[in-house]
């Protein structure tokens, strides 16, 4: 926590990998200042290539979306709503002497490292694995770029890197800085976050802390503060969860994400029925005619 200095879980060395402790990210937009240091630190540490220099015109966000070469993405959400106990000005654009409530929310998006991960289940090569700390990791040297994880992620995180970028053709996403964690370091994004909007630590600690933070914010007038961590769906919770103001759709987050394997039973049943049906129809046609 801010004020803890080097004792903060974002800064101190740890042995989570050796101790097989489940870790997580808790990202809190109410203290994010939109500096994008997390994006930069991630790119620098992981040697992630650039993903184009496009001026989007979408607030201060020219990154757009998580992808093969964007593992942290700071969102700039503009809403015509009041933020907590914010005092709104008297200059109305709409007209009249009313006030135009407005809030500007920054939220650093990242791979959710699902408890039941769609990409991990879909990967036909075994390139995507679960690490000791519960994160989901793509082994770059194993991935052959089939692209099935891309359509299997309910959050649209993982993507195949296009040519001519370095390491093109493989699927990429946040590694939870597994290499750093193995050496007892904290993920690069959490390490640099100047306001500790991104908190890295033990998953159970973070969950308790998040609940407390929501309670605190509600007391301060943030009536629509809530935790985004889909526990009730087949995703069964995430290792990187968020505090959000308002509904998840505004952040491009699916309200009820499901792991695609829930459709397997129905689809395979239909496939087997069709296969048997085709065989019987063929045999019938040759037998009778």
Site for another protein in 248-287 (CB under 8 A): 249-258, 260-261, 263-264, 266-279, 281-287
11 or 258: whose CB is closer to another protein? 258
Q: What is the DSSP letter of 8?
A: S
Question: Does residue 49 interact with another protein by CB under 8 A?
Answer: no
Q: Say which residues have a Cβ less than 8 Å from residue 235's Cβ, sequence separation at least 6.
A: 112, 114, 115, 116, 118, 154, 257, 258, 259
Position 214 contacts another protein (CB under 8 A): no
Examine residue 1 and tell whether it contacts another protein (CB under 8 A): no
Contact call for residue 166 and another protein (CB under 8 A): no
Tell me the closest approach of the beta carbon of residue 68 to another protein, in angstroms: 9
For the bound state, the minimum distance from the C-beta of residue 102 to another protein, rounded and expressed in Å, comes to 8
* Closer Cβ to another protein, 80 or 179, answer by number: 80
Phi, psi at 107, each rounded to 5°: -140, 125
Report 100-159 residues binding another protein (CB under 8 A): 102, 118, 121-127, 142-148, 150-159
State the minimum distance, in angstroms, from the CB of residue 79 to another protein. Answer: 6
Residues 6+ apart with CB under 8 A from 66: 72, 73, 109, 110, 111, 155, 156, 157, 159, 173, 174
Contacts of 280 (CB under 8 A, 6+ apart): none
- Tokens representing residue 132 in the block: 């000791």
Residue 89 is a binding residue for another protein (CB under 8 A) = no
38 binds another protein (CB under 8 A): no
Regarding 246 and contact with another protein (CB under 8 A), the answer is no
Please report whether residue 223 would count as binding another protein according to CB under 8 A: no
**Choices 5-13, 34-42, 63-71, 215-223; region in contact with another protein by CB under 8 A:** 63-71
Contact 100, 81 (CB under 8 A): no
Please identify which residue in the block is written with the tokens 């046609």: 285
Peptide linkage before 168 cis (omega within 30 of 0): no
| Nearest distance in Å: CB 249, another protein | 5
Closest CB 250 distance from another protein, rounded Å: 7
> What contacts 122, CB < 8 A, 6 or more positions away?
148, 149, 151, 152, 260, 261
In the block, tokens 């390490």 appear at 191
Q: Does 231 bind another protein (CB under 8 A)?
A: no
């Amino acid at each position: 926590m801010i004020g803890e200095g080097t004792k903060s879980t974002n800064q101190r060395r740890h042995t989570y990998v050796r101790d097989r402790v489940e870790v997580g990210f808790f990202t809190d937009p109410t203290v994010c200042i939109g500096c994008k240091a997390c994006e930069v630190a991630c790119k620098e540490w992981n040697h992630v290539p650039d993903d184009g220099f496009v001026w989007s015109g979408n607030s201060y966000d020219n990154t757009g979306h998580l992808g093969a070469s964007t593992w942290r993405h700071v969102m700039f959400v503009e809403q015509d709503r009041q933020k907590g106990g914010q005092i709104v000005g008297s200059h109305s654009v709409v007209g009249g002497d009313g006030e135009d409530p407005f809030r500007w929310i920054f939220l650093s998006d990242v791979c959710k490292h699902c408890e039941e991960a769609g990409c991990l289940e879909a990967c036909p090569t075994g390139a995507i694995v679960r690490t000791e700390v519960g994160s989901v990791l793509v082994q770059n040297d194993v991935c052959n770029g089939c692209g099935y994880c891309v359509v299997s992620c309910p959050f649209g995180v993982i993507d195949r890197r296009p040519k001519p970028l370095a390491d093109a053709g493989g699927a990429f996403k946040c590694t939870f800085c597994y290499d750093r964690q193995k050496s007892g370091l904290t993920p690069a994004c959490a390490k640099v976050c100047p306001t500790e909007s991104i908190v890295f630590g033990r998953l159970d600690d973070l969950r308790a802390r998040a609940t407390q933070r929501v309670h605190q914010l509600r007391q301060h007038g943030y009536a629509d503060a809530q935790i985004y961590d889909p526990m009730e769906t087949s995703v069964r919770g995430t290792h990187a969860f968020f505090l959000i103001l308002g509904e998840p759709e505004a952040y491009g987050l699916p309200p009820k994400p499901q792991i695609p394997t829930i459709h397997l039973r129905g689809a395979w049943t239909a496939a087997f029925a069709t296969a048997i049906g085709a065989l019987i129809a063929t045999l019938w046609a040759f037998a009778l005619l």
